[in-house]
Protein backbone atom coordinates (compact mmCIF):
# COMPACT_ATOMS: atom_id res chain seq x y z
CA UNK A 1 0.00 0.00 0.00
CA UNK A 2 2.82 2.40 0.84
CA UNK A 3 4.37 2.13 -2.63
CA UNK A 4 0.99 2.74 -4.25
CA UNK A 5 0.39 5.87 -2.17
CA UNK A 6 3.92 7.08 -2.90
CA UNK A 7 3.37 6.71 -6.65
CA UNK A 8 0.02 8.53 -6.45
CA UNK A 9 1.59 11.37 -4.47
CA UNK A 10 4.48 11.81 -6.86
CA UNK A 11 2.17 11.65 -9.88
CA UNK A 12 0.05 14.43 -8.37
CA UNK A 13 3.09 16.62 -7.80
CA UNK A 14 4.30 16.00 -11.37
CA UNK A 15 0.91 17.10 -12.65
CA UNK A 16 1.10 20.23 -10.49
CA UNK A 17 4.53 20.96 -11.92
CA UNK A 18 3.11 20.86 -15.46
CA UNK A 19 0.27 23.16 -14.44
CA UNK A 20 2.73 25.58 -12.82
CA UNK A 21 4.81 25.70 -15.98
CA UNK A 22 1.73 26.42 -18.10
CA UNK A 23 0.56 29.14 -15.69
CA UNK A 24 3.92 30.87 -15.62
CA UNK A 25 4.17 30.81 -19.42
CA UNK A 26 1.14 33.12 -19.54
CA UNK A 27 2.68 35.64 -17.12
CA UNK A 28 5.31 38.33 -17.46
CA UNK A 29 7.94 39.42 -14.93
CA UNK A 30 7.58 42.84 -13.30
CA UNK A 31 9.60 45.62 -14.88
CA UNK A 32 12.47 47.44 -13.19
CA UNK A 33 13.93 44.47 -11.30
CA UNK A 34 17.57 43.43 -11.68
CA UNK A 35 18.67 39.84 -11.14
CA UNK A 36 21.82 37.87 -10.42
CA UNK A 37 21.22 34.20 -11.12
CA UNK A 38 22.56 30.76 -10.34
CA UNK A 39 24.91 31.65 -7.52
CA UNK A 40 26.21 28.56 -5.73
CA UNK A 41 25.64 28.60 -1.98
CA UNK A 42 27.29 25.17 -1.73
CA UNK A 43 30.13 24.69 -4.20
CA UNK A 44 29.40 21.10 -5.19
CA UNK A 45 28.06 21.44 -8.74
CA UNK A 46 24.54 20.47 -7.65
CA UNK A 47 21.91 22.72 -9.29
CA UNK A 48 19.78 22.30 -6.19
CA UNK A 49 22.41 24.35 -4.35
CA UNK A 50 21.91 27.47 -6.47
CA UNK A 51 20.11 30.71 -5.67
CA UNK A 52 19.04 33.93 -7.39
CA UNK A 53 19.01 37.47 -6.02
CA UNK A 54 16.58 40.16 -7.18
CA UNK A 55 16.54 43.89 -6.35
CA UNK A 56 15.20 47.14 -7.82
CA UNK A 57 17.28 48.31 -10.78
CA UNK A 58 17.68 51.81 -9.33
CA UNK A 59 18.67 50.59 -5.87
CA UNK A 60 21.44 52.38 -4.00
CA UNK A 61 23.32 50.72 -1.18
CA UNK A 62 22.14 47.75 0.83
CA UNK A 63 18.47 46.84 1.05
CA UNK A 64 16.35 45.01 3.61
CA UNK A 65 16.34 41.43 2.43
CA UNK A 66 13.66 38.77 2.05
CA UNK A 67 14.82 35.15 1.90
CA UNK A 68 12.22 32.93 0.22
CA UNK A 69 11.70 29.15 0.47
CA UNK A 70 9.47 27.80 -2.29
CA UNK A 71 6.70 25.28 -1.76
CA UNK A 72 5.92 22.10 -3.68
CA UNK A 73 4.96 19.56 -1.05
CA UNK A 74 8.62 18.97 -0.09
CA UNK A 75 8.95 16.83 -3.24
CA UNK A 76 9.06 19.15 -6.24
CA UNK A 77 9.77 22.70 -7.32
CA UNK A 78 12.74 25.00 -7.65
CA UNK A 79 13.56 28.69 -7.45
CA UNK A 80 12.02 29.29 -10.89
CA UNK A 81 8.65 28.29 -9.43
CA UNK A 82 8.69 31.46 -7.27
CA UNK A 83 10.63 33.70 -9.64
CA UNK A 84 7.90 36.23 -10.49
CA UNK A 85 6.67 36.27 -6.88
CA UNK A 86 10.19 37.11 -5.67
CA UNK A 87 10.57 39.76 -8.36
CA UNK A 88 7.30 41.34 -7.26
CA UNK A 89 8.61 41.55 -3.67
CA UNK A 90 11.83 43.11 -4.97
CA UNK A 91 9.82 45.77 -6.82
CA UNK A 92 8.50 46.82 -3.40
CA UNK A 93 11.94 47.93 -2.23
CA UNK A 94 13.71 44.76 -1.10
CA UNK A 95 16.55 42.52 -2.11
CA UNK A 96 15.08 39.03 -2.44
CA UNK A 97 16.94 35.72 -2.27
CA UNK A 98 15.22 32.85 -4.09
CA UNK A 99 16.73 29.43 -3.42
CA UNK A 100 16.79 25.87 -4.65
CA UNK A 101 17.06 23.11 -2.07
CA UNK A 102 17.23 19.35 -2.42
CA UNK A 103 13.92 17.53 -2.54
CA UNK A 104 12.30 14.52 -0.96
CA UNK A 105 12.60 11.54 -1.57
CA UNK A 106 16.18 12.07 -2.79
CA UNK A 107 16.96 13.48 0.68
CA UNK A 108 15.14 13.67 4.01
CA UNK A 109 13.83 16.61 6.03
CA UNK A 110 17.08 17.13 7.92
CA UNK A 111 18.98 17.57 4.65
CA UNK A 112 16.44 20.15 3.47
CA UNK A 113 16.87 22.12 6.68
CA UNK A 114 20.66 21.92 6.30
CA UNK A 115 20.40 23.26 2.74
CA UNK A 116 18.35 26.25 3.88
CA UNK A 117 20.83 27.00 6.67
CA UNK A 118 23.68 26.76 4.17
CA UNK A 119 21.96 29.31 1.92
CA UNK A 120 21.39 31.63 4.87
CA UNK A 121 25.03 31.37 5.92
CA UNK A 122 25.97 32.19 2.31
CA UNK A 123 23.78 35.29 2.63
CA UNK A 124 25.64 36.30 5.78
CA UNK A 125 29.02 35.96 4.03
CA UNK A 126 28.19 37.26 0.57
CA UNK A 127 24.90 39.17 0.63
CA UNK A 128 26.48 42.61 0.72
CA UNK A 129 27.88 41.97 -2.76
CA UNK A 130 24.30 41.72 -4.08
CA UNK A 131 22.49 44.62 -2.35
CA UNK A 132 21.47 42.41 0.62
CA UNK A 133 21.70 43.86 4.11
CA UNK A 134 22.56 40.96 6.46
CA UNK A 135 21.38 43.01 9.43
CA UNK A 136 17.85 43.28 7.99
CA UNK A 137 16.88 39.77 6.95
CA UNK A 138 13.31 38.45 6.81
CA UNK A 139 12.14 34.97 5.91
CA UNK A 140 9.11 33.76 4.03
CA UNK A 141 7.99 30.46 2.60
CA UNK A 142 4.81 29.12 1.08
CA UNK A 143 3.08 25.81 1.77
CA UNK A 144 5.87 23.27 2.45
CA UNK A 145 8.24 26.24 2.29
CA UNK A 146 6.15 27.81 5.05
CA UNK A 147 6.89 24.79 7.20
CA UNK A 148 10.60 24.81 6.37
CA UNK A 149 11.11 28.56 6.86
CA UNK A 150 9.22 28.59 10.15
CA UNK A 151 11.16 25.55 11.37
CA UNK A 152 14.52 27.05 10.41
CA UNK A 153 13.60 30.25 12.25
CA UNK A 154 12.77 28.28 15.40
CA UNK A 155 15.93 26.14 15.21
CA UNK A 156 18.20 29.17 14.87
CA UNK A 157 17.59 30.41 18.43
CA UNK A 158 17.36 26.95 20.02
CA UNK A 159 20.84 25.63 20.97
CA UNK A 160 19.62 22.07 21.54
CA UNK A 161 17.91 21.99 18.16
CA UNK A 162 21.01 23.41 16.45
CA UNK A 163 23.08 20.61 17.98
CA UNK A 164 20.47 18.00 17.04
CA UNK A 165 20.52 19.07 13.40
CA UNK A 166 24.29 19.60 13.38
CA UNK A 167 23.98 23.28 12.50
CA UNK A 168 25.74 26.53 13.35
CA UNK A 169 23.66 29.50 14.47
CA UNK A 170 23.30 32.21 11.85
CA UNK A 171 25.58 35.26 12.16
CA UNK A 172 22.57 37.59 11.98
CA UNK A 173 19.13 37.95 13.51
CA UNK A 174 16.02 36.96 11.57
CA UNK A 175 13.97 40.13 11.98
CA UNK A 176 10.58 38.68 11.01
CA UNK A 177 8.84 35.93 9.08
CA UNK A 178 5.79 35.56 6.84
CA UNK A 179 4.38 32.03 6.96
CA UNK A 180 2.48 31.90 3.70
CA UNK A 181 -0.27 29.23 3.54
CA UNK A 182 2.11 27.10 5.63
CA UNK A 183 2.04 23.83 7.55
CA UNK A 184 3.09 24.37 11.18
CA UNK A 185 2.93 20.83 12.62
CA UNK A 186 4.02 17.82 10.58
CA UNK A 187 2.50 15.24 12.91
CA UNK A 188 -0.92 16.87 12.83
CA UNK A 189 -0.75 18.25 9.29
CA UNK A 190 -4.09 18.68 7.57
CA UNK A 191 -3.16 16.85 4.38
CA UNK A 192 -5.05 14.30 2.30
CA UNK A 193 -5.68 11.63 4.92
CA UNK A 194 -3.75 9.52 7.42
CA UNK A 195 -2.28 7.15 4.82
CA UNK A 196 -0.71 10.07 2.96
CA UNK A 197 0.62 11.55 6.20
CA UNK A 198 2.20 8.21 7.16
CA UNK A 199 3.92 8.01 3.77
CA UNK A 200 5.14 11.58 4.15
CA UNK A 201 6.64 10.63 7.52
CA UNK A 202 8.73 8.02 5.72
CA UNK A 203 9.82 10.68 3.26
CA UNK A 204 10.76 13.07 6.06
CA UNK A 205 12.27 10.69 8.59
CA UNK A 206 13.07 7.34 6.96
CA UNK A 207 11.63 3.82 7.11
CA UNK A 208 11.20 3.92 10.91
CA UNK A 209 10.16 7.55 11.44
CA UNK A 210 9.89 7.56 15.23
CA UNK A 211 13.45 6.26 15.60
CA UNK A 212 14.77 9.40 13.91
CA UNK A 213 16.08 11.86 16.56
CA UNK A 214 14.42 14.83 14.85
CA UNK A 215 10.98 13.18 14.65
CA UNK A 216 9.59 15.19 17.56
CA UNK A 217 11.74 18.24 16.77
CA UNK A 218 10.59 18.93 13.24
CA UNK A 219 7.99 21.70 13.49
CA UNK A 220 7.72 25.28 14.66
CA UNK A 221 5.10 24.12 17.18
CA UNK A 222 7.73 21.90 18.83
CA UNK A 223 10.73 24.24 18.86
CA UNK A 224 9.64 27.89 18.87
CA UNK A 225 10.06 30.06 21.97
CA UNK A 226 7.72 33.08 22.23
CA UNK A 227 10.56 35.17 23.67
CA UNK A 228 13.07 34.53 20.88
CA UNK A 229 10.78 33.82 17.90
CA UNK A 230 10.59 36.93 15.70
CA UNK A 231 7.36 38.74 14.81
CA UNK A 232 5.35 36.64 12.36
CA UNK A 233 2.72 37.28 9.73
CA UNK A 234 0.34 34.41 8.97
CA UNK A 235 -0.85 34.88 5.38
CA UNK A 236 -3.59 32.63 4.02
CA UNK A 237 -7.04 32.54 2.44
CA UNK A 238 -10.27 30.93 3.54
CA UNK A 239 -10.45 29.32 0.09
CA UNK A 240 -7.10 27.58 0.65
CA UNK A 241 -7.58 23.81 0.65
CA UNK A 242 -4.98 23.69 3.46
CA UNK A 243 -6.57 26.56 5.41
CA UNK A 244 -6.95 24.44 8.55
CA UNK A 245 -3.16 24.38 8.88
CA UNK A 246 -3.06 28.18 9.11
CA UNK A 247 -5.83 28.11 11.72
CA UNK A 248 -3.72 25.61 13.65
CA UNK A 249 -0.76 27.99 13.51
CA UNK A 250 -2.84 30.99 14.63
CA UNK A 251 -4.18 28.97 17.56
CA UNK A 252 -0.61 28.02 18.50
CA UNK A 253 0.57 31.62 18.37
CA UNK A 254 -2.44 32.79 20.39
CA UNK A 255 -1.98 30.18 23.11
CA UNK A 256 1.75 30.89 23.43
CA UNK A 257 1.65 34.67 23.44
CA UNK A 258 3.70 35.01 20.26
CA UNK A 259 4.07 38.30 18.40
CA UNK A 260 2.09 37.82 15.23
CA UNK A 261 -0.44 39.30 12.82
CA UNK A 262 -2.63 37.65 10.21
CA UNK A 263 -3.72 38.55 6.70
CA UNK A 264 -6.73 36.56 5.47
CA UNK A 265 -8.58 38.04 2.47
CA UNK A 266 -12.00 37.06 1.18
CA UNK A 267 -12.39 33.85 -0.76
CA UNK A 268 -12.76 35.27 -4.23
CA UNK A 269 -10.76 37.54 -6.49
CA UNK A 270 -12.13 39.88 -9.11
CA UNK A 271 -14.04 37.91 -11.73
CA UNK A 272 -15.04 35.24 -9.24
CA UNK A 273 -11.77 33.29 -9.18
CA UNK A 274 -11.02 31.63 -5.86
CA UNK A 275 -8.12 32.92 -3.82
CA UNK A 276 -6.85 29.40 -3.35
CA UNK A 277 -3.66 27.90 -2.05
CA UNK A 278 -0.66 30.29 -2.32
CA UNK A 279 -2.63 32.58 -4.65
CA UNK A 280 -0.21 35.46 -4.04
CA UNK A 281 2.73 33.33 -5.16
CA UNK A 282 1.02 31.84 -8.20
CA UNK A 283 -0.60 35.11 -9.30
CA UNK A 284 1.50 38.00 -7.97
CA UNK A 285 0.06 40.24 -10.71
CA UNK A 286 -3.56 39.85 -9.53
CA UNK A 287 -4.80 42.85 -7.58
CA UNK A 288 -5.36 40.51 -4.62
CA UNK A 289 -1.87 39.05 -5.03
CA UNK A 290 -0.35 42.53 -5.10
CA UNK A 291 -2.33 43.48 -1.98
CA UNK A 292 -1.24 40.35 -0.10
CA UNK A 293 2.40 40.79 -1.04
CA UNK A 294 2.19 44.46 -0.11
CA UNK A 295 0.83 43.40 3.29
CA UNK A 296 3.87 41.15 3.67
CA UNK A 297 6.42 43.82 2.77
CA UNK A 298 4.62 46.44 4.88
CA UNK A 299 4.76 44.03 7.82
CA UNK A 300 8.50 43.60 7.31
CA UNK A 301 9.06 47.34 6.99
CA UNK A 302 7.16 47.89 10.21
CA UNK A 303 9.71 45.72 12.04
CA UNK A 304 12.41 48.19 10.99
CA UNK A 305 10.64 51.27 12.25
CA UNK A 306 12.34 53.13 15.05
CA UNK A 307 15.86 52.23 13.99
H or E segment to which residue 237 belongs: none
CA gap 98, 162 in Å, rounded: 23
- Left (φ > 0), alpha (ψ -120 to 50) or beta: where does 167 sit? beta
Closest CA to 184 of 247, 249, 139: 249
Per the DSSP assignment, residues forming a β-bridge with 132 are: 63
Third-level CATH fold of 2-28+36-304: Rossmann fold (3.40.50)
H or E segment to which residue 56 belongs: strand 50-56
Long-range contacts of 6-15 (CB under 8 A, 24+ apart): 6/105, 6/199, 9/73, 9/75, 9/196, 9/199, 9/200, 10/75, 13/72, 13/73, 13/75, 13/76, 14/76
pLDDT tens digit string along 85-105? Answer: 999 999 999 999 999 999 998
Could you tell me if 230 and 174 are in contact, meaning their C-beta atoms sit under 8 angstroms apart?
Answer: yes
Mean pLDDT of 238-264: 96
pLDDT tens digit string along 153-192? Answer: 999 999 999 999 999 999 999 999 999 999 999 988 877 6
Q: ∠ CA(7), CA(10), CA(13), 5° rounding?
A: 150
pTM of the predicted model as reported, rounded to 2 decimal places = 0.95
Amino acid sequence: MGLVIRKIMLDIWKKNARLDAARKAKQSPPAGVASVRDLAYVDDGNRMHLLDVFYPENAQGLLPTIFDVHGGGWVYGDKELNEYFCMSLASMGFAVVDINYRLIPAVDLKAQVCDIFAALHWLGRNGQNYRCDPEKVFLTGDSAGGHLSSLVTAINTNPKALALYGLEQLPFEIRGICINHGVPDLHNAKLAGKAVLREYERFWFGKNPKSNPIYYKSSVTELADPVTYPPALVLTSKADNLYRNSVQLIDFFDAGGYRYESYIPDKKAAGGKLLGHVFNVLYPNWAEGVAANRAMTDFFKKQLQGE
